[in-house]
Amino acid sequence: MAKKRLGAMLAPFSLTFKGEQADWEAPFRRAYFKSTLGQARVAIGFGILYFSLFAILDLLVIPNRLLEAWLCRFGVFLPAGLVVLALSYHKSFMHYFQASLAFLVILGGLGVIYLTTLTTAQDAYLYYAGLILAFMFGYGFARLRFVVATCCGWLLVLAFLVVELGVNHPSLKGLVANQFFFVGANIVGMMICYHQEKAARLAFLLQNQLSDQNALLLSHNENLAKLSNLDGLTKVANRRHFDHFMFQSWRQCQAGHQPIAVIICDIDVFKQYNDHYGHLAGDDCLVKVAKALARTVRRQGSLVARYGGEEFAVVLTGVYMEESMRIAERIRQQVEDLALPHCLSAQGVVTLSLGVAAVIPDNSLSQRELFQCADSALYEAKLAGRNQVKAGKLFTSQVRA
């Protein structure tokens, strides 16, 4: 995504998503919270530890003001830090995550400023660097958002200036030097924080767009896979899918010693139908017959496919010859019951001839032979006058007719 476009998606100071991307703000905050919580906890823990360790400096610099100094460290900051740390394990911490961390940064910074008031004017500088640490926490370590960190940073600069002018009364050069340091530290911190948050937002958007596109691709692929298995006209399975299904079912039935049956259905005198009613009516008839087949054969482990032209094939798994014949007869009856007019057929309506073969697959017979057996039975049905079901004869002990 171009930099320019990202700029147009973010509000200039708050960096929140705007315009069409505004809906991403809440998910981004959730994601930002999840991804930064670990680091924020480390920052709180480290902050508490470090702020407490500075008690050693108090011993050296302000031994006569230890009570106030340690009250500030152990009576205020330490418990506040521990409370926030404990709260960070609460499930609703996300809602006050930024506010709690901002509170700690401000509290730590104000603590440092307070400590400068306990020293002599000459020793005050020994504590000033603590403010830089507070800025580093705010702008980086604690993972505050840019707008929150900026408010904390400048509030501390202002508080420091007020205390310096009102309480510490430093020399002019000391005041100027410190303000230069702190203002500079804030500006650098702001820049780092700004770019970090912008990068995090960009990465978030890209990741989400990518997963949206992946989901779209996945659903297109699924649709394509479905389409590639269907016959364009009748919307039942096509020959390719039939072959694949047959291959898989054969293997499964062989492994499970289960029967597999094939029914081949051919529309009777369809050439005449086409010649008489026209090719488009022929197409329509194919669709209606396919629907009738699909309605009739719904059992699990079965498949209705258009095998080619006006010929359909049905695969049934777990079904012996007797039951397959019954299903084939039901199919024949269903198509006859459609009562699609066919003035050139013996019944005056569209009818089907069907050939059936079933077997428990083993190595003595191939799928091809099973199919050929059903096809021969279909041929017999045609010879016998059409609109009927014939059983194929397989020379195997496993077939139960």
Q: Does 385 bind ligand GTP (CB under 6 A)?
A: no
Q: Does 265 bind ligand GTP (CB under 6 A)?
A: no
Q: Does residue 57 contact residue 69 with C-beta atoms inside 8 Å? A: no
* Closest separation in Å from C-beta 278 to ligand GTP: 8
Figure out which of the listed residues 115, 266, 342, 352 binds ligand GTP, where binding follows CB under 6 A: 266
Residue closer to ligand GTP by CB (options 222, 283) is 283
4 burial level (CB within 10 Å; 0-12, 13-18, 19+): exposed
Residue nearest to ligand GTP (CB): 282
Quick one: angle between helices 279-296 and 270-277, nearest 10? 130
Closest of 342, 321, 335, 233 to residue 278, by C-alpha: 342
Q: Does 355 bind ligand GTP (CB under 6 A)?
A: no
Determine the Cα–Cα distance for residues 328 and 317; give it in Å rounded to an integer: 14
Q: Does 268 bind ligand GTP (CB under 6 A)?
A: yes
* Closest separation in Å from C-beta 228 to ligand GTP: 18
Q: Look up residue 55 and give its two tokens.
A: 């008690």
Closest of 105, 124, 133 to residue 177, by C-alpha: 124
Q: Does 286 bind ligand GTP (CB under 6 A)?
A: yes
Q: Does 267 bind ligand GTP (CB under 6 A)?
A: yes
Q: Does 384 bind ligand GTP (CB under 6 A)?
A: no
Q: Does 383 bind ligand GTP (CB under 6 A)?
A: no
Q: How many CA atoms lie within 13 A of 345 on its CB side?
A: 24
* Closest separation in Å from C-beta 302 to ligand GTP: 23
* Closest separation in Å from C-beta 392 to ligand GTP: 17
Q: Does 350 bind ligand GTP (CB under 6 A)?
A: no
Stretch that binds ligand GTP, among 95-103, 280-288, 317-325, 391-399 (CB under 6 A): 280-288
Longest dimension (CA), the chain: 120
Q: Does residue 352 contact residue 332 with C-beta atoms inside 8 Å? A: yes
Query: How many C-beta atoms lie closer than 10 Å to residue 360's C-beta?
Result: 18
Q: Does 274 bind ligand GTP (CB under 6 A)?
A: yes
Residue closer to ligand GTP by CB (options 107, 354) is 354
Binding mask 211-240 for ligand GTP (x = CB under 6 A): ----------------------x-------
Question: What is the DSSP code (8-state) at residue 138?
Answer: I
Q: Does residue 304 contact residue 314 with C-beta atoms inside 8 Å? A: yes
Q: Does 279 bind ligand GTP (CB under 6 A)?
A: yes
Q: State which of positions 296-315 bind ligand GTP (CB under 6 A).
A: 309-310
Q: Does residue 281 contact residue 215 with C-beta atoms inside 8 Å? A: no
Figure out which of the listed residues 283, 322, 337, 362 binds ligand GTP, where binding follows CB under 6 A: 283
Stretch that binds ligand GTP, among 60-68, 148-156, 278-286, 293-301 (CB under 6 A): 278-286
Which value, to the nearest 10 degrees, does the dihedral of the CA atoms of residues 25, 30, 34, 40 take?
Answer: 70
What would the 3-class secondary structure string for 97-131 be?
HHHHHHHHHHHHHHHHHHHHCCCCCCCCHHHHHHH
- Pairing type for strands 302-308 and 311-317 reads antiparallel
Q: Does 45 bind ligand GTP (CB under 6 A)?
A: no
Closest of 129, 127, 99, 109 to residue 33, by C-alpha: 99
Query: 60-89: b or e for each residue (b if 16 or more CB lie within 10 Å)?
Result: ebbeeeeebbeebbeebbbebbeebbeebe
Figure out which of the listed residues 282, 355, 361, 392 binds ligand GTP, where binding follows CB under 6 A: 282
Figure out which of the listed residues 28, 51, 270, 307 binds ligand GTP, where binding follows CB under 6 A: 270
Q: Does 365 bind ligand GTP (CB under 6 A)?
A: no
* Closest separation in Å from C-beta 386 to ligand GTP: 6
Residue numbers of the site for ligand GTP (CB under 6 A)? 233, 266-272, 274, 279, 282-283, 286, 309-310, 382, 386
